[in-house]
């Protein structure tokens, strides 16, 4: 249906500098990438509402990039048009373009629509 | 009436029961949990998918026992109280593990449908939908048919003719 998403279209993250600011920038970049994966309807704050990144002037829902030794957390609302494992695999690929082989915990918190929802 | 033969050899819904003979297609593994990180699918996701799949079968009039149908009717009227999904999850209870899921359904059937055939079709569709969409193996689908819907009861078009007295 869709080829591979389009993770390659976004430039990779800048080389790591200040860890805290860097994590926020990475999170924002990830959120933009993940929202473009086919089958992803929205980002979600997660089961406990903790999958968030706090930024100057606002907060970002659905992505949390913690300490370098912690996994990246992503929480999503998916459409029902694609099997969940396929969408999750594409999300992981998209995250890997920025974060390399860092572990990624993906939570599918909700689904919307019916079988033909994109 | 309760038709609750989940699988040929599934007897109870305790997590310890292992029924390995159920699925024709082995579900896709979700992710490499060790290196790549965990993938968690919320129970409400499985619930919604099972609810949609069950309702797809014609002959299923509605879902839920009396209590959950009443709550569902209330909940639909509460802003934000499950605006989109509440109608889909009434009458669906799920138990989701890391690789397996069990589904319990309360359904109201249309009068005239063969309940055994209907339950079989519902079970097949729910298993297919949940396994395909989530990659979880469905170990059992228990179906409780707790009411039957007679179409003429809620017609409401023609008021009952008994309004005129039989004798004058």
pLDDT for res B152:
73
pLDDT digits (tens, 9 = 90+) for B3-56: 444 444 433 333 333 333 333 333 334 444 557 888 999 999 999 999 999 999
Backbone phi, psi, residue B63, to 5°: -135, 155
Q: How far apart are the first and last CA of chain A?
A: 10
Answer yes or no: is A33 within a domain: no
How far apart are the C-alpha atoms of B92 and B129, rounded to whole Å? 14
pLDDT band at B165 (very low <50, low <70, confident <90, very high): low
Note the pTM of the prediction, 2 decimals: 0.71
Cβ of B83 under 8 Å from any chain A Cβ?
no
Distance of CA B100 to the CA centre of its chain: 17
Query: What is the residue range of A80's domain?
Result: 39-118
B167 touches chain A (CB under 8 A): no
- Which chain B residue has its CA at the smallest distance from A96's CA? B36
H helices then E strands: how many in chain B?
Answer: 4, 6
**Which chain B residues contact residue A109 at CB under 8 A?**
42, 44-45
The confidence score (pLDDT) of residue A116 equals 81
B44 → closest Cβ in A83, A101, A110: A110
What is the secondary structure of A25-77 as a DSSP string? HHHHHHHHHHHTSTTEEEE---TTS--EEEETTEEEESEE--STTSPEEEEEE
Cα–Cα distance, A113 to B9 (Å, whole number): 34
B132 touching chain A per CB within 8 A: yes
Q: Say yes or no: B26 contacts chain A, CB-CB below 8 A.
A: no
- Residue A28 counted as domain residue: no
Q: Does B85 touch chain A (CB under 8 A)?
A: yes
Helix, strand, coil share of chain B (percent; to 5): 35, 25, 45
Q: Note the pLDDT of residue B6.
A: 42
Q: What pLDDT, on the 0 to 100 scale, is given for residue B163?
A: 54
pLDDT tens across the length of chain A (118 residues): 444 444 444 444 444 455 566 888 889 899 999 999 999 999 999 888 889 998 888 889 999 988 888 899 999 999 999 999 999 999 999 999 988 888 999 999 999 988 887 7
pLDDT value at position B102? 94
For chain B, which domains are there? Answer: 36-151 (3.30.70.1350)
Q: What would you measure as the largest C-alpha separation in chain A, in angstroms?
A: 44
Helices B43-56 and B115-134: crossing angle in degrees, nearest 10, is 140
Strands B2-3 and A63-64: unpaired
- Greatest CA separation found in chain B? 85
| Residue A108 forms contact with B (CB below 8 Å) | yes
Q: Is the pLDDT of residue B142 over 90?
A: yes
A81 assigned to some structural domain? yes
Question: Considering its fold, how many domains does chain A have in total?
Answer: 1
Give the pLDDT of residue A1: 44
Q: Is the pLDDT of residue B64 over 70?
A: yes
Hey, is the C-beta of B153 within 8 angstroms of any chain A C-beta? no
pLDDT at A48: 87
* pLDDT computed for residue A25 by the predictor: 86
Whether residues A72 and B52 touch (CB distance < 8 A) is answered with: no
Tally A–B CB contacts below 8 A.
72
CA-CA distances (angstroms) from residue A103 to A9, A60, B30? 22, 20, 14
- Residue A58 falls inside a structural domain: yes
Q: Is residue A94 part of a domain?
A: yes
Provide, rounded to the nearest whole percent, the portion of chain B with pLDDT above 90: 40
CB atoms A106 and B133 under 8 Å? no
Interface test mutation site (partner A, options B27, B29, B32, B36, max chain A beta carbons within 10 A): B36
């Amino acid at each position: 249906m869709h080829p591979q998403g389009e993770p390659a279209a976004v430039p990779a993250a800048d080389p790591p500098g200040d860890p805290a600011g860097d994590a926020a920038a990475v999170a924002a970049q990830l959120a933009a990438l993940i929202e473009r994966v086919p089958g992803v309807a929205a980002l979600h704050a997660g089961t406990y509402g903790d999958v968030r990144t706090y930024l100057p002037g606002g907060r970002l829902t659905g992505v949390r990039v913690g300490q370098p030794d912690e996994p990246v957390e992503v929480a999503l609302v998916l459409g029902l048009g694609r099997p969940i494992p396929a969408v999750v695999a594409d999300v992981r690929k998209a995250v890997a373009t920025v974060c390399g082989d860092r572990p990624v915990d993906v939570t599918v918190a909700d689904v919307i629509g019916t079988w033909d929802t994109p | 009436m309760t038709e609750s033969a989940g699988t040929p050899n599934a007897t109870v819904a305790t997590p310890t029961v292992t029924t390995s003979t159920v699925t024709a297609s082995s579900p896709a593994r979700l992710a490499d949990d060790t290196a790549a990180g965990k993938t968690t699918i919320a129970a409400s996701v499985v619930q919604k998918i099972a609810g949609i799949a069950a309702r797809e079968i014609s002959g299923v009039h509605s879902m839920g026992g009396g209590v959950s149908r009443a709550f569902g009717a209330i909940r639909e009227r509460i802003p934000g109280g499950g605006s989109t999904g509440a109608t889909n999850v009434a009458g669906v209870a799920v138990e989701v593990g890391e690789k397996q899921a069990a589904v319990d359904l309360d359904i109201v059937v249309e009068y005239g449908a063969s309940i055994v055939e209907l339950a079989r079709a519902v079970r097949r569709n729910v298993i297919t939908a949940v396994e395909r969409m989530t990659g979880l193996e469905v170990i059992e689908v228990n179906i409780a048919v707790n009411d039957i819907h007679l179409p003429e009861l809620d017609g409401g078009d023609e008021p009952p003719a008994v309004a005129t007295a039989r004798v004058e």
